[in-house]
Amino acid sequence: MTLLITGGTGFVMSVLARTWLERDPKARAVILDRAGLDDLAARYFAPVRDRLTVITADICDPREWQATLDSHDIRYVVHGATVTPISRGSAAEAKRQPEAEDPARIVDVNFMGTVRILEWVRQRPDVERVVFVSSGSVYRHHGPDWTGEPLPEDGYVAPLTLYGISKYAAEMVVNRYADLFGLSAASVRLASVYGPMDRVTGSRNFRHVPNRVAHMALSGETIRPNSLEPVGDYVTSTDVADAIIALLSAERLRYRHYNIGSGETSTIGDIIGWARERIPGLEVELSSVETANVIQDVSLKDGMWGAYDIARIAMDTGWRPRGARQSFHGYMDWIVENEMRSEGK
């Protein structure tokens, strides 16, 4: 039982690959990624490396990978290869507009990379299911129309960025290929993900609030948020991996799109409070936007920034995320064990 994961040396997809291999000692995984294994990934995959194949190639050039993939008995595909040009977190980062640096590459990888994989899949009748990894960036900034309700998959789609636009366009292509060629395929829209293997890579240089707070707290750095009120639906990479595997394993999928999130919001104040439970001496100073090292827009509380409705995936698979506080503490433990100890801290 072999799973192909594109983008599998990066953040969430690397956690998916290891989780898949740990669940079944007979399972195998193939990673297709432009980047090879960095030091952290090499250590992370060490316990399962004998059942993992890594193909270093450009998703947009099938000549680099098609023949090699043909030699593997691939039954499932998770397409997660993407370019994620997001810039937030500090005043200096907020001034950057990374989409303007290489806009064509964003569209090539996020849209045409999806087409290339689908072209390969449609010629492989043994592939049982395809999951496309999309994003909450496809949603608009406000909604739903009922205050306090989590954001559902139907409606409220209005991407503004090249990232969101390319993701939504790719979702539609996945749907059409499924109809044309009889594929069992679905797209997952991820909320704000943090957790194990969250690090800077060549295609993603962004850290959500829980990542930043956890690292600052553990390193003894003063946290200077511009406010304690901004919210996010934060879900860990381990929960996302479990959710995707649940979708791959489900007997039947009743929908084409599934949200994956915690289903609720946490404030910056909540996250800092959880960090203080582990680091009682943690220092926090409310700061202006110009001097803050954690910046979120106070006005962004719903739509893509709010809670995501996860009823669909819960109904079709039984998956549920762990509690937000428990997940955050688990991530702090993981940082100590896998990042700080390896660096001698």
Cα-based distances in Å from 298 to 88, 125, 333: 13, 49, 29
* Least confident segment among 81-90, 108-117, 174-183: 81-90
Structural domain includes residue 127: yes
pLDDT of residue 202 exceeding 80: no
Amino acid 90: pLDDT? 52
By residue range, what is the domain housing residue 151?
2-202+234-263+308-322
Residue 13 is assigned to a structural domain of this protein: yes
Q: What is the pLDDT of residue 224?
A: 97
Q: What pLDDT, on the 0 to 100 scale, is given for residue 88?
A: 54
User: Distance (Å, rounded) from C-alpha 127 to C-alpha 77?
Assistant: 7
Banded pLDDT at 200 (limits 50, 70, 90):
confident
What pLDDT sits at residue 343? Answer: 61
Report how many domains make up the chain: 1
Is position 283 within any domain? no
- Give pLDDT tens digits for 138-171: 999 999 988 789 999 999 999 999 999 999 999 9
Quick check: is 33 in a domain? Answer: yes
Cβ–Cβ contacts within 10 Å for residue 166, how many? 27
- Residue 217's Cβ-count burial label (10 Å; 0-12, 13-18, 19+) is buried
Residues 6+ apart with CB under 8 A from 257: 134, 153, 171, 186, 187, 188, 189, 312
Q: Does residue 285 register a pLDDT over 90?
A: yes
The full length of the chain comes to 345
Is there a domain that residue 215 lies in?
A: no
- Identify the pLDDT of residue 101: 85
**Residues 296-343: pLDDT tens digits?**
999 999 999 999 999 999 999 999 999 999 999 999 999 999 998 766
In 35-88, where does DSSP find H-type helix?
39-45, 66-70
Which residues are bridge partners to 260 per DSSP? 190
Cα–Cα distance measured from residue 57 to residue 64, given in angstroms and rounded to the nearest whole number:
6
Cis check: omega of the bond before 98, within 30 degrees of 0: no
CATH, residue 66: 3.40.50.720
- Which residues are bridge partners to 257 per DSSP? 187
Q: pLDDT tens digits, residue range 111-120?
A: 999 999 999 9
Beta-carbon-side half-sphere exposure of residue 308 (alpha carbons within 13 Å): 32
Task: Count Cβ atoms below 10 Å from residue 93 Cβ, excluding itself.
Answer: 16
Phi first, then psi, for residue 341 (nearest 5°) are: -70, -35
Please check the confidence at residue 344 and state whether its pLDDT lies above 80.
no
pTM, two decimals, is 0.95
pLDDT of residue 93 exceeding 70, the answer is no
DSSP 309: P
Note the pLDDT tens digit of each residue in 207-223.
Answer: 899 999 999 999 999 99
Residue 340 belongs to a domain:
no
In a domain, 228, yes or no: no
pLDDT digits (tens, 9 = 90+) for 263-275: 999 999 999 999 9
Does a structural domain hold residue 78? yes
pLDDT in tens, 20-49: 999 999 999 999 999 999 999 999 999 999
**pLDDT, tens digit, for every residue of 229-243?**
999 999 999 999 999
